Structure formats: C-alpha cells, structure tokens
A = this chain, B = another copy of it.
C-alpha cells in the first residue's frame, strides 16, 4: 500500500488566535474552515498515520476553529481534536506494532476532521472489538477528562462540585462519581435537567438561576463538605462558590464558558485555608500521567463503553463535504454528539 502524501480535510482558513472574543458556538463554520486537499507531513519517529473513520465535534473544537482555544491555529491544517480510525503507517518502531489496529486517537500531528490524520503513537488507544465506533470516536477527550477529573476530586477528599453538569462531560462525571461512591454536587443553569442528573447519580443538583440558590448551596456545602470544584464556567458565581467551600478546597479549571473575569474576593483563604486554583488540560495530563496510571484509566473508559454503562449519544452524522454547512445546525438542534465521517 502506498502511503498517501495528501488528504481531504476541513482545513483552517486562518492561523493564530482570534483578535476579539468569540462565542461558544459560531453562527457558521464557513468563515473558519474550507474543504480541500492538504499535504500530510512525513511521519516522525513516534508518529503514526491513521485512516480516519469517525470524528466528533466537541465544544473545544468550536473554540479552536474560531481561534479562542489555548493553542494557536495553523493556517491550512485540518481541524478536529479526536477520532477513531485504523493505523496504516508508522514513523518508527514505537508505532509499528499499531499498524492495522483500530485506535482512538488525538489529532496531535494533523487534525482529525480529515480522511487521514497524523497522531503520536503514545496517544493512540487500541480498541477492544466490543467498543462501538461512535464511542471509539469520542473516547478520549470527554471520557478521559471525566476519569482524570474525578480522580483529582478523590485526591482532594471525596465530595466535589461540578458545574455545567448537564453537559456530556458533566454526565460522565456524575455517573463515575456514583460508581465510585463520591458525593457529587451538580450545578446547572436551568431546572430542566434536575431529575435526569439525580438519576445519573448526583448527590445534589443546584440550579444557579433559582432564587434560593445561595441557601441551597450553603446547605449542600455544609452537608457534603466538597473539596474540589470542577469548573467549566469560570464566572464570578464559581469564584463565590469556591470562597464558600471549606478549607483545603481546590478550584480545578478545565473550561471557560463565561466571559467574566472573576474577582478574588477573599485571597486570605489561599494563605489561611490552604485553598488553591489550578488548571486541568487533557493534552498535558495524558502524556504526563505515569504509564500504568494512564493504562488503568484507559481500561476503565473502554470497559464502560464496551459494557454499555457509558454510551455516546450521537445526534447527527455528516460526511466531510456536508460538514461546513451542516455541523452548526445539527449541533444547535441535538443533545447528542455531532459526528463527522470522512
């Protein structure tokens, strides 16, 4: 088989970062992406080439293509953070044992919204045959983040708070917490999902738009004494919750849905109450995790999908040539993941 040197991809129209703040979901992908043939770089040692099967549209993808994510865009490169596919070539011995394997992968060399993608062999996860394709496509970003965040919460002392808890990631976190016997306090904006999140395993569900939110939060903090605040929002309400938490609390920021710049209204708590603010980024956690720890996490994630305890709800599946016009309408309409099938 000849290794391809170009591939059909949703390529970034611009490089670098946006010059002004961007919405969570753009009105259209057309200003940011174009479907075209892009060159594939020569594989370096440790890299592999993957024939992509399916790739999800994650919230972080939408930040990235707009230039408002933590990494700069490279003009002309494919977008897409993760996917599932088959390894068809390797740049060195580290990847050769993966050739022919179906893997979940991160688009670390080139993006996943393409017929082919370059990834690091060390970040490819060989899949058990029982893992459905949609689950394999969305196996890394959300599920590994959920497992890593719940592990971080457990390290800080057990009970924890998770906001934006109605998200796919929030739901994974709640189910995981229940299975592991950790009390999770879910914070959501609207009351619609209260019962669903309780059914998933939340010990408490607080609705931040409710008139009695502060009283509810106070009671929940008193009852559960959460030590970790898993935060995808980053607004002043999150800061207020953090400063209301007991001594030793850790504010773990892994997303920033709000445009607010929260004020540190009680800095003495860092000193006298041993509180701290830290960030979590899967792209940093995964390569830095001790191999046996990463392996344990990956085994857990696969088991959950293979046995059906976790399921990736697919909202829509679009071929590459319908993605630019179709992704945003499907994303807005659906509760499930929007998938791109190259």
Contact = CB atoms under 8 A, between A and B. Distances in A.
Interface of A: 69-71, 234, 239, 253-256, 261-265, 267-281, 284
Contact of A273 (B70, B267, B271, B277): B70
A261 B271 CA distance: 15
A274 to B, nearest CB: 6
A277 B274 contact: no
Majority secondary structure, A binding face: loop
Contacts of A272: 69-71, 279, 281
Contact of A256 (B71, B263, B267): B267
Interface centre among A264, A271, A279 (most CB of B within 10 A): A271
Copies per complex?
Answer: 2
Given A70-B268, A256-B268, A270-B277, 9 more contacts: A71-B272, A253-B267, A253-B271, A255-B271, A261-B264, A263-B263, A269-B279, A270-B278, A277-B277
Contacts of A262: 263-264, 267
Contact of A264 (B254, B264, B270, B284): B264
B284 A279 contact: no
A287 to B, nearest CB: 13
Given A261-B264, A261-B265, A268-B70, A276 B278 contact: yes
